Each structure stands twice: as C-alpha cells, then as structure tokens.
Amino acid sequence: MELSIKEEWNYPSEHFSTLALSTFPMEQFITSWRMTAQDADLVQTSVPIPELKPGEALVKIAGCGVCHTDLGFWHDGVKTKHPLPLTLGHEISGTVIALTPSLSPGERGNLVGKSVIIPAVLPCGECDLCKSARSNICRNQKMPGNDFDGGFASHIIVPARFLCPVPEELLHHHDLATLSVIADAVATPYQAVKKSGLVRDDFVIAIGVGGVGIYGALIAQIFGGKVLAIDINDERLKSASEMGIPATLNVAGLDLKAIKNKVREIAERFGTRPNGWKIFEFSGTKAGQELAFNLMSYASTVSIVGFTMDKIEVRLSNLMAFDATMIGTWACKPELYPEILDLFAEGKLSVEPFVQVFPLESINQIFHDTLAHKYTKRTVLIPNDN
C-alpha cells in the first residue's frame, strides 16, 4: 500500500524531492509500519526518501526494540505529539548512510558509514536545560516515534548532532540490531541509577525486572549496590538470579505487611544499613508504584522509572516524616551513552540474555503478543533486508 507523500509522511512539503540515486545507490524508498488509529493494525507504507534538511542524518535501521511506551501509544490511549498516522519506535540502532554537508566535525559530520545508537530523546543542545546538564528534558527535544516518524521502518531521518557511535570492536561481540535496546531499556535505568546517588553497599530494591528493570538491577549492582529484585513473575526472577542478582522476591499474593517483613529480612541478611535505601520502580504499574512508596523509609530515595496512566493514592506526609526523596527520571541524556557502551565493552553488561529478535513484518502479531504478556524478553524487530 503506497500512501500520498504530502498527506502521510511527517516532513514539510518543501522537502519532498527524492535524493539523487548517486547519493543513495539502491536506497530510494523508506518502508515503514505506521499507526493509523488506536488498537488498529499497523499499516505497511513505502515512500520516496525525502531530501535531508540541514543537521539531519539518514540512518539505515538495523533493529528497533518494542517498548512499553509504544504500547502506551498504540493501546493505552497515550497521545503522540505528532498526529497520526505515525511510525512508532524509539529504540533504534543502525548505520548512517548520509549526512547533510553543512555538518561540522563537532556536529558528528564524520559518521557516514558508521554504526550508531539513536538516543530515545534528541535535545536541541542550546537551551538552558541542555546547558545545565538536563538535556534529557530539553523542551525542544525530539523523540522518534512520538515527535516524528520512528524506527519500525527500513530507514529513519534524525537530527545528527547527538547520534552515539558504536565502537567497531564492540560489534565483534554484539549484533548491532540487538544493541538497539541500549537507546531506552538500558539508558533510562542507567540515568536513574546515576541520579539516585547510589553508593557502594547501599540496599537497592528493584521493582519489576522485565525489559528495563533487569538492566536497572544489573546497573545498580555494577555501581556497588546490594540488590533485591521484586516481581510477580518467577521466570523473570529466575533470569535475574542467573545474571547474578543476589536476592529475589515474588510478591504475588502477599499483603504489604508480609512484603515489608521479607524485605527487612533480606536487608538484614545483606548487612546493609537500615536507612538510605534506594528504591527503583521499573514496572510502570499502579501496584508497583504503590509498593515503591510504601517501602520508603528513613532517608530513602524512590526513583520512578516506569510509566502508567493509572493514578495512585499515597500519603505524602510519609515523604516528609522519613525525610525521603522521590525522583522522576525521563529517558537519558545523550552525553551518558558513551559511558553505557563502555560497560558493554568491559563485559559488565550484555544484551543477548534479554533480547529476542523477529522480522519487522511480524510487528502486528508482536504488538498483540506483547500486550498479552507472552514474552519475558525484550523484542527487537529487524527490517526485512537486514
């Protein structure tokens, strides 16, 4: 199915001249799977590659991860910033095949032919938030699959300034497609752990150890924390244990008092101090957020990483009485991505145990199966010609 370009593709009409074939041998079209309405099957679309604007890069996509946020847009009624139709997907890796010639070396003008991770949020780099080390919440930021067409496609056009190059030696041990999950599933908890102020031997509670949470638990352990993984799924907890997380707790069917008692027992067994706990809510559920708040104690830090549309009811006076801290965390600053790649290069993190790959053309089935909780691993979709 081929749609009208000016009506259906998210670029201004003045940029709809196809790039010269000499620039893109064999690269003439972008094929994507687009959301047209809530809960409707995504529609395959093919359009000519538009002309790049200043500061943009054309990336041939290697893989794009399926995230809870994508399902939020597609199923839960979360509104995308760009009106539908829209190509979703923000966990993207690929190869740069073109840049606008106006890019200077300082703007990563030497990336043609290089493998890259596309940060899940792309800041402007110039505003007060960007210049005060808060670029992840830049008010001019652009998010693939939200502000513009995303990664469930053969190619993507993105701002080039903050693309993160993947060292060639890293690709000797990891597939570029599966490294796409770094863009969000790894980067978001990495920033959350750094923001929490976690120090060695802190007691860490990771609530929800699925796609994002398992990386959060592992990163907290790399930072020196004594980690307890909490979930309601035995398979996820078994995976966490196999990856070296020292304590797990399935809270399915337990009341709050029983959970608190078990958590205190584990903290005592670790020999950690009884205060200053670092609590991370990764599940993005009402139950998970309520549990995180209720486990808060003296000098605790509670980091909200998962997202839900549900509202919770808590007694904020507990925050005052415990002199505790609650932190929100949105995505990850592009400046932190090289640090994350270093953890992979040093063998401290890996993607293979937590990722499964499928062809992009199976996206509709994957969305339905993900919604039905049929997967315990992060799904990465790979374009057909890879």
pLDDT at 18: 33
**pLDDT tens sequence across 176-198:** 999 999 999 999 999 999 999 99
Range of the domain at 244: 187-328
Please answer whether residues 271 and 294 qualify as being in contact, where contact means their C-beta atoms are separated by less than 8 angstroms.
no
pLDDT at 27: 61
Give the torsion through C-alpha atoms of 283, 286, 287, 291, to 10 deg. Answer: 80
- Mean pLDDT over the full length of the chain: 90
**pLDDT tens sequence across 213-240:** 999 999 999 999 999 999 999 999 999 9
List, in order, residues 6 or more apart from 148 with CB less than 8 Å away.
10, 82, 142, 157
pLDDT at 261: 97
pTM for the full predicted model: 0.89
- The two structure tokens encoding residue 366: 């994957």
Say which CATH number the domain at 281 has: 3.40.50.720
Indicate whether 176 and 197 sit together in one domain: no
Indicate whether 149 and 280 sit together in one domain: no
pLDDT at 291: 98
pLDDT at 326: 97
Indicate whether 191 and 294 sit together in one domain: yes
Indicate whether 214 and 320 sit together in one domain: yes
Indicate whether 218 and 344 sit together in one domain: no
pLDDT at 100: 85
The identity of residue 138, as a single letter, is C
Last residue of a domain, one of 290, 306, 328: 328
Indicate whether 293 and 197 sit together in one domain: yes
Please answer whether residues 122 and 146 qualify as being in contact, where contact means their C-beta atoms are separated by less than 8 angstroms.
no
**pLDDT tens sequence across 274-324:** 999 999 999 999 999 999 999 999 999 999 999 888 999 999 999 999 999
Last residue of a domain, one of 306, 328, 350: 328
pLDDT at 376: 83
- The two structure tokens encoding residue 21: 């074939």
Give me the residues of the chain with pLDDT under 50, please: 1-26, 104-106, 108
> Cβ–Cβ contacts within 10 Å for residue 240, how many?
24
Domains in the chain, number? 2
